[in-house]
Structure 1
Amino acid sequence: MARPRQFDEQEVLRDVRDQFWTAGYAATSLDDLTRASGLGKGSLYGAFGDKHKLFMRTLEAYVNESCESLEQNLAGYPRAVDGLRALLVAGAASQRRGCYLANSTTELAATDPAVAAKAREAYEHIAGLVAGAVERAQREGDLPAGIDPVTFARTLQAAQQGIVYMGRSGLPAEALAEVAGNLADQLLPIR
């Protein structure tokens, strides 16, 4: 008879995700994962499968949490354009380790079809959430009616991710904030 699990699965996934996030997939060893999770090799793989399956679980959980947070943040502003501006500025607050989804995409998508598919799916979902805010900003009269919401959403994503990548280089937070503010002023003018 199998023993019941004696650990919090979500906590283990967060701890393992943080290890992958800090070191990257390739540089993370099984010993690193057991140390981060506090589980033995048998328990870790018995519960989550091999390293790749474990990684994909952490990526899925990160994407789900990030999309929920983004949806709530965008909806939390009285005017949609303010939520879109906040999205750009949030990239400036990113730490040097960047975005887990972007890091994973950069490291693995070219050689790992599962990661590429998850990244495409995630970025399209994010674009859909942002496009919804763009449409709302159009209805509120803060963005021109003639712009395509999905294309503009992808433009905002590219700008925000560019800020995050710049932050990974160690560019000071003040410089990142200035870039983010400039982009927000150019892309989302205050009417």
Structure 2
Amino acid sequence: MARPRQFDEDTVLRAVCDQFWDTGYAATSVQDLMSVSGLGKGSLYAAFGDKHELFLRVLRRYVASLDGALRRSVDSAPRAVDALWSFLMVPVGDPDGVSARRGCLLANSTTELASADPDVAAEARQAYEGITVIVAECVARAQAESDLPASADPVGRARALLAAQQGLTFMGRSGMDVETLAATARSLAAQLLPATAEGSAG
């Protein structure tokens, strides 16, 4: 009879996610993963597979969390354009700039691995398409609420918002100060979300 696992899977995956997020895939050793998870190599591999399989599992889990948070933001926003503003401002992060410099695990991983790892490239494409669908639905709602021009293509506007958000993410990773990053985000909002840019900036 197989022995029951003596660890909490969610706790282990959160710890491993933080390790990959903070140091990147290549710089994370199996020893690092053993250290943060509290598991021996045999137990770690038996539960989650090798380093690459574990990374893909963590990445998928992270993307599911992103999608869930975005859905909740859209569903709870008084007006759809408020959720779009919040989406665009995510990379600005906290006032001390720590989260801006840490970036996004999906964006970081795409930059590091997608050109050489077809599995990560496929995961990234699927993830960004999923985000685009949610944002496009939000754009369509904002149009119905008369906060965005009815003539705009929801998918095209969603892709523009995603591209702008990811650009801000990379700028934050470079160490740009939060004030400049926020000002840049407001400038983008003035072009992509004109109905909300002035009020939200104040």
- TM-score, structure 1 as length reference: 0.97
Question: Gaps (5+ residues) in structure 1?
Answer: none
> What amino acid is aligned across from residue 83 of structure 1 in structure 2?
A
1:115 aligns with 2:120: yes
Q: How many residues are aligned here?
A: 191
> What amino acid is aligned across from residue 77 of structure 2 in structure 1?
Y
Paired with 2:100 and 2:16, the residues of 1 have a C-alpha distance of 18
Q: CA RMSD in A?
A: 1.0
Pairs within 5 Å for 1:118-129: 118-129=123-134
Structure 1 residues 17-39: Cα deviation after superposition (integer angstroms, max 9, x where no partner): 11111111111111000001111
For residue 96 of structure 2, what is the aligned residue in structure 1?
none
Tell me how far 1:97 sits from its aligned partner.
1.4
Of 150, 158, 163, the residue aligned with 1:158 is 163
Tell me, what secondary structure is at the counterpart of 1:96?
helix
For residue 13 of structure 2, what is the aligned residue in structure 1?
13
Say if 2:157 and 2:192, in contact at 8 Å, map to a contact too: no
Runs of 4+ in 1 over 6 A off after TM superposition: none
Structure 1 residues 112-154: Cα deviation after superposition (integer angstroms, max 9, x where no partner): 1111111000000000000000000011111111111111101
For residue 74 of structure 1, what is the aligned residue in structure 2?
74
> What amino acid is aligned across from residue 63 of structure 2 in structure 1?
V
Paired with 1:129 and 1:161, the residues of 2 have a C-alpha distance of 16
Percent identical:
61
Paired with 2:100 and 2:165, the residues of 1 have a C-alpha distance of 13
Say if 2:148 and 2:195, in contact at 8 Å, map to a contact too: no
Question: Gaps (5+ residues) in structure 2?
Answer: 94-98, 197-202
For residue 180 of structure 2, what is the aligned residue in structure 1?
175
Greater shift in the superposed pair: 57-66 or 75-84 = 75-84
Greater shift in the superposed pair: 121-130 or 1-10 = 1-10
Paired with 2:184 and 2:132, the residues of 1 have a C-alpha distance of 22
1:185 aligns with 2:190: yes
> What amino acid is aligned across from residue 183 of structure 2 in structure 1?
E
Paired with 2:109 and 2:90, the residues of 1 have a C-alpha distance of 20
For residue 102 of structure 2, what is the aligned residue in structure 1?
97
> What amino acid is aligned across from residue 112 of structure 1 in structure 2?
D
Paired with 1:147 and 1:86, the residues of 2 have a C-alpha distance of 20
Tell me how far 1:2 sits from its aligned partner.
2.2
> What amino acid is aligned across from residue 164 of structure 1 in structure 2?
T
Tell me, what secondary structure is at the counterpart of 2:110?
helix
